Structure 1
Amino acid sequence: MVRDGPRPLAFYLLAGIFALYVLFLYGPTLTILALSFQGPQGGLTFPMNGVSTHWFSRLWAGLGVIDIWAAFRRSFLLGLVVMALTVTLAFFAGLAFRKGFRGQGLLFYTAVASLIVPSIVVSLGIGLEFRLIDDALKALAAATGWGVLQDHGTVMGLFTSALGAHLTWTLPFGLLIMFAVFNRFNRAYEEAARDLGADGPRTLLHVVIPIILPSLVGVALFGFTLSWDELARTSQAIGGRNTLPLELQGLTTTVTTPEIYALGTVTTGVSLVVIALAFGSYLGLQRRRARRALLPGA
């Protein structure tokens, strides 16, 4: 529809407010991106002193006593595990809630309750829980003398307490997405597959999953990105080795050069790459589906 005449004043007012909102939202990221490319004599504020990749080279060489790349690997691996578990658990939970079962309402509200509980409280609770487990194991070792328990340190760690803390954040989002997907899923496709002789697993593998695959990609994206930059829920539940966000928080009080900006640019770049891969996968699935629809007899 082509609009005749000038736009009303309200349009430009709302457009200006939206532009300011976008600037407020992305301005800090763009500022860090620009300052990370300063020259060797650059500081932490504008004006910039030259343009180079000097601080990325310094970052690659390491940041003093902190092994930043080890923290990077820990966060990346944790993000992948959280992503896989979020997709798997959310998918099968969505299937279970389609059928209905006793206590499903209580289970649903319990699952999403962690979204409204302050993150630091969740972290403290998980940390306390694992410390109680450690105390119980030490008491058992003292009472029984079992050698396997004598050298016990802690059960807290990247893929125990930290993994649980991250899942309390990512899994509710995955569940809500899958519930929305299955609520509008046309069961006629499954009935048609069964009429053609497909059993339950084949129907799931060849009919249900291909149809909802773009949504699963979205859940995977949520799982990884939410885990990648999670700070508060990790702080009290990580154990002895920090993730990248925790190391980054610590560096803000010790690093006084644009190296910290270079690290921020790298971490933001990882998030953008993951988003681009997810979006590319979605477009690829859509194109594949469109090509199949054009095939004879499809």
Structure 2
Amino acid sequence: MSIATRADLATEAAPPADTAGRIRRAVLAVYAGLFYVVLYLPILLLLVLSFNESQTIGLPMKGATLRWYGEVFGSQKMLASIANSVMLGIASALIATVLALMLAMGFRQDFPFKGLLMKIILLPILIPGIVGGIIYLIFFGYAEIPFGVWTTALPVHVTWVLPFAFLTLFPRLHGFDRSIEEAAADLGARPFTAFRRIVFPVIKPGVVATVMFAFTLSFDEFIRTLFSIGSQRTVPVHLWSLLSDQMAPFLPAVGVVIMVISMLVSLAGFAASARADRPRR
């Protein structure tokens, strides 16, 4: 068989380019569809079950009702846990963002053991939650610090969200044009004045986004909180206690409330982050 004949046969056997492209697009479409189903179907199911009039959690639907949302917002324990989560999240986010901003400013300079210190700051991310919770439990127990939202849970949450806040702020400050600050210093501006009037207005959207992100991390934190909060409750810990005691029919409504709060804060953070990136693009 000649070389030309073999080439012709290979060409006839090979599928057309448009056919291969259609197959590739079909496979990608199926993959994307399965991905979104697995990702969003449980959320949709949770939303549907939160309106189910049935006394048991599950399908089929026995009617639509807002009763379970009324029980969620009518429960004093649930309202107290929501208040604890919100206040703890706000305090943790603000403290961690301020500390992260100070660290990011300091890391713009060269100093001994800079790399080691950065690894120490990021260490809480690498420690598993249950291990960190046991460490905090033992530490606070030996230190005889009373367990509670503000005595033990707050420092635990600050320690947890600080590395994420630092990783969010450090790239913005590291890429900041320092010649602007040097020009302000040449004109007689003190370092704090240059930061307040030049640096901070530029990075302010990024700082706001960091606060929102840190709040979301604190609001959703469960394992470390469980070991450090004592008899008080945040929303995730209270939800876990409800799951341990009984499968209350209003649990899907609680999940929807938590999801809505987290989504609203996250969207606000994404909007602020996009605003911060717009001048750079």
Identify the TM-score tier after normalising by the shorter chain: 0.7 to 0.9
Aligned to 1:24: 38
Once the two structures are aligned, what percentage of the paired residues are identical? 31
What's the TM-score, normalizing by structure 1? 0.80
1:183-202 correspondence to structure 2 within 5 Å: 183-202=174-193
Q: Secondary structure at the match of 1:37?
A: coil
Of the three residues 24, 30, 44, the one matched with 2:57 is: 44
Q: Work out the CA distance in 1 between the residues paired with 2:123 and 2:206.
A: 23
Aligned to 1:151: none
1:249-268 correspondence to structure 2 within 5 Å: 249-268=240-259
- The CA RMSD over aligned residues, in Å, is 2.5
Q: 8 Å contact 2:168–2:210 — kept in the other structure?
A: yes
Amino acid at match of 1:251: L
Q: How much has 1:282 moved relative to structure 2? A: 5.2
Amino acid at match of 1:24: V
Q: Secondary structure at the match of 2:99?
A: helix
Q: 8 Å contact 2:157–2:218 — kept in the other structure?
A: yes
Q: Work out the CA distance in 1 between the residues paired with 2:277 and 2:213.
A: 20
Q: 8 Å contact 1:174–1:223 — kept in the other structure?
A: yes
**TM-superposition CA deviations, 1:214-262 (whole Å, max 9, x none):** 2212211221011101111112111221221111011113343431111
Q: Work out the CA distance in 1 between the residues paired with 2:108 and 2:77.
A: 47
Q: Work out the CA distance in 2 between the residues paired with 1:43 and 1:240.
A: 28
Q: 8 Å contact 1:133–1:155 — kept in the other structure?
A: no
Aligned to 2:268: 277
Q: Secondary structure at the match of 1:160?
A: helix
Aligned to 2:239: 248
Of the three residues 57, 60, 84, the one matched with 2:70 is: 57
Of the three residues 203, 206, 212, the one matched with 2:203 is: 212
Q: Secondary structure at the match of 1:115?
A: helix
Aligned to 2:90: 80
Q: Work out the CA distance in 2 between the residues paired with 1:195 and 1:181.
A: 23
* Unmatched segments (≥5 aa) in structure 2: 1-17
Aligned to 1:162: 153
Q: Work out the CA distance in 2 between the residues paired with 1:26 and 1:267.
A: 16
Q: Matched residue pairs, number?
A: 263
Of the three residues 92, 105, 109, the one matched with 1:95 is: 105
Amino acid at match of 1:269: V
Q: Secondary structure at the match of 1:253?
A: helix
Q: Work out the CA distance in 2 between the residues paired with 1:100 and 1:220.
A: 27
1:166-177 correspondence to structure 2 within 5 Å: 166-177=157-168
Rg comparison, structure with higher value:
2
Cα pair distance change 1:15/1:192, threshold 3 Å: farther
Cα pair distance change 1:286/1:171, threshold 3 Å: closer
Cα pair distance change 1:284/1:92, threshold 3 Å: same
Q: Work out the CA distance in 2 between the residues paired with 1:202 and 1:61.
A: 49
Cα pair distance change 1:251/1:115, threshold 3 Å: same
